[in-house]
Amino acid sequence: MTTATAANGFTDAAFESFLETRSAEPDWLTTIRREAWQAFSEMDWPARNDEEWMRTDIRMFHLDKFALPTEPATAPELAPGLLTHDVELGGTLVSYNSSATEDSLIGELASKGVLFGSLDRLVVEHGDLLRPFFERQVVNRTHDKFAALHAACWSGGTLLYVPKGVAISQPLHGMSAMGDSGVDLSKTLVILEEGAEATMLSETASTSPNGGGLHCGSIELIVEPEAHLRYVNLQNWSTSVWHFAHQRATVDRNASLQWTIGALGSKLAKVNQQVALTGPDANAQVNGVMFTEGRQHLSYNTHQHHMAPYCRSDLLYKSALQDRSRTVWRGMIKVDLAAQRTDAYQRNDNLMLAPTARADSIPGLEIEADDVRCTHGSTSGRVDEPQVFYAMSRGYTRTEAIRLIVAGFFQQVFDRITIESVRNALGDAIASRVQDLDQQAAPEVQG
């Protein structure tokens, strides 16, 4: 169980031998890695007085308990993904402990010039094509020590590249799995060239129900003018995994992005999710569905950055919290001076399923343009007892009634998600997690 705890985790020597295993990579990428490693070595871990980290305690996180991922001897049999039920896929990538174990794309898409699959492989095969997208640095490689660690040491990961004008109807699917004490440093890069259209479904899973591990990853979504991307990522690690992620999308002129994130797993998650609207009339919809239990701590920093005029962004995050779990949402809408006629919205609703759970909601606006419409809101509340009684008076058991009310709570965000398999998967996963909540229930009136 503890064999993966290599003695000399993330040392200079380990990094050098990691680079040796990647000698096929183009030089420009090695340079990026070395620079990031340098930055990583010089940076401190985030401190509790950093505003971004004030509510998220990582003193129990010790990087030296983990090691740079190596090729797995054999990947175990993996359970099928949650997002792909009844879906005809255009391609599949499965990875285990940050290296690809299954990598496929249907011929019809390959012949149109679509690239999909292992980023490890594709960055070697198509280095010149991918170089400018890496150099754009969609996610800031030195945002913090985690970003730098990832930029230096990423491995595995997924690429979706859709050439100009190509529209894909079959979703592409990526599954990242992790074994006990595993490490996943995968990077996701999605590039839709001008006028392209695609749907990508990503999810994570742990192979053992209580297996620990570390994910330190990034997602970069590049949506060029007139392109349309639907992207889903479901974080479903075991509740013992550390999850650190930087995720950013750029959406250009007349392009649209529907980005849905689901978060069910991890012990502690710290996610920076940013959407930048870089060209006029760009449109971004962000949907977040979170369900936490036990002592999980999920912290999300969301950022809607309006850089160009006439863009819309609409963010809705909903979480339900059980036991002693906790969520933190800090949302920021930033509107540059150039981004006149911005229409931006952000909202976070929390449903407290136990009095011991806690949700912090901190919306924020930073607006330099003067002709904009920006609105935000947040709510937190318990399950409404009169609603529970009403459903019970129609024959629902108490647990069924609470499940029903929780499902109704999430319906508002499900109503926005246009992919049926994703709605169903999230709905089912949440329903199965709502416990028998009898003791939270004891109506207060019986005093």
Partner 1 sequence: MSETLKITDLHVAVEGKPILRGVNLTINRGETHALMGPNGSGKSTLGNAIMGHPSYDVTGGTIEINGQDIMEWDASERARAGIFMAFQRPMSIPGVKMADFLRHAATNVRNPERKEGEDLIPMREFRKELKEKMSQLRMDVEFARRYVNDGFSGGEMKRAEILQMAMLRPKFAILDETDSGLDVDAVKLASQSIAEIGGAEMGILIITHHDKLLDYNAPDFTHVMLGGKIVETGGVELAQELYTQGYDRIRAAYPEEAALEEELAEETATA
Maximum alpha-carbon separation in the chain = 72
Q: How far apart are CA 302 and CA 288, in angstroms?
A: 10
By CB under 8 A, tell whether 104 contacts partner 1: no
Q: How far is the CB of 408 from partner 1 (least distance, A)?
A: 3
Site for partner 1 in 216-275 (CB under 8 A): none
SS3 234: strand
Phi then psi for residue 357, to 5 deg, are -80, 160
By CB under 8 A, tell whether 385 contacts partner 1: yes
Q: Are 268 and 327 in contact (CB under 8 A)?
A: no
Number of H helices, E strands in the chain: 10, 20
Of 210 and 411, the one with the shorter C-beta distance to partner 1 is 411
Of 108 and 384, the one with the shorter C-beta distance to partner 1 is 384
Distance of CA 221 to the CA centre of its chain: 12
Q: How far is the CB of 395 from partner 1 (least distance, A)?
A: 4
By CB under 8 A, tell whether 106 contacts partner 1: no
DSSP letters for 147-201: HHHHHHH--S-EEEEE-TT-B--SPEEEEEEE-TTEEE--EEEEEE-TT-EEEEE
Residues touching partner 1: how many (CB under 8 A)? 29
By CB under 8 A, tell whether 393 contacts partner 1: yes
Of 111 and 393, the one with the shorter C-beta distance to partner 1 is 393
The 83-102 site mask, x for binding partner 1 (CB under 8 A), equals --------------------
By CB under 8 A, tell whether 384 contacts partner 1: yes
Of 310 and 414, the one with the shorter C-beta distance to partner 1 is 414
Q: Are 202 and 172 in contact (CB under 8 A)?
A: no
Part in contact with partner 1 (CB under 8 A); list of ranges 129-137, 198-206, 332-340, 387-395 = 387-395
Of 132 and 447, the one with the shorter C-beta distance to partner 1 is 447
Of 209 and 447, the one with the shorter C-beta distance to partner 1 is 447
Q: How far is the CB of 409 from partner 1 (least distance, A)?
A: 6
Give the bridge partners for 234, in sequence order.
Answer: 203, 262
The residue from 387, 419, 433, 435 that contacts partner 1 (CB under 8 A) is 387
Part in contact with partner 1 (CB under 8 A); list of ranges 50-58, 275-283, 358-366, 390-398 = 390-398
Calculate ∠ Cα 103-104-110, nearest 5°: 130
Of 45 and 390, the one with the shorter C-beta distance to partner 1 is 390
Phi then psi for residue 41, to 5 deg, are -65, -30
> By C-alpha distance, which of 301, 274, 229 is closest to 56?
301
> By C-alpha distance, which of 99, 77, 102 is closest to 207?
77
By CB under 8 A, tell whether 446 contacts partner 1: yes
Of 41 and 387, the one with the shorter C-beta distance to partner 1 is 387
Q: How far is the CB of 313 from partner 1 (least distance, A)?
A: 23
Q: How long, in residues, is the chain?
A: 447
Site for partner 1 in 398-437 (CB under 8 A): 398-401, 404-405, 407-412
Q: How far is the CB of 380 from partner 1 (least distance, A)?
A: 16
The residue from 391, 417, 434, 437 that contacts partner 1 (CB under 8 A) is 391
Query: For 51, how many CA atoms within 13 A lie in the half-sphere containing its CB?
Result: 3
Q: How far is the CB of 349 from partner 1 (least distance, A)?
A: 11
Of 34 and 398, the one with the shorter C-beta distance to partner 1 is 398
Q: Read off the tokens for 385.
A: 């007892």
Q: How far apart are CA 256 and CA 418, in angstroms?
A: 14
Residue 77 DSSP label? P
Q: How far is the CB of 439 from partner 1 (least distance, A)?
A: 14
By CB under 8 A, tell whether 390 contacts partner 1: yes
Q: How far is the CB of 438 from partner 1 (least distance, A)?
A: 11
With residues binned 3-state (H G I as helix, E B as strand, rest as coil), the percentages for the chain, rounded to 5, are: 25, 40, 40
Q: How far apart are CA 403 and CA 65, in angstroms?
A: 38
- Tell me the CA distances in angstroms from 282 to 163, 258, 276, 373, one per residue in order: 19, 11, 9, 15
Q: How far is the CB of 441 from partner 1 (least distance, A)?
A: 9
Site residues (vs partner 1, CB under 8 A): 384-387, 389-401, 404-405, 407-412, 443, 445-447
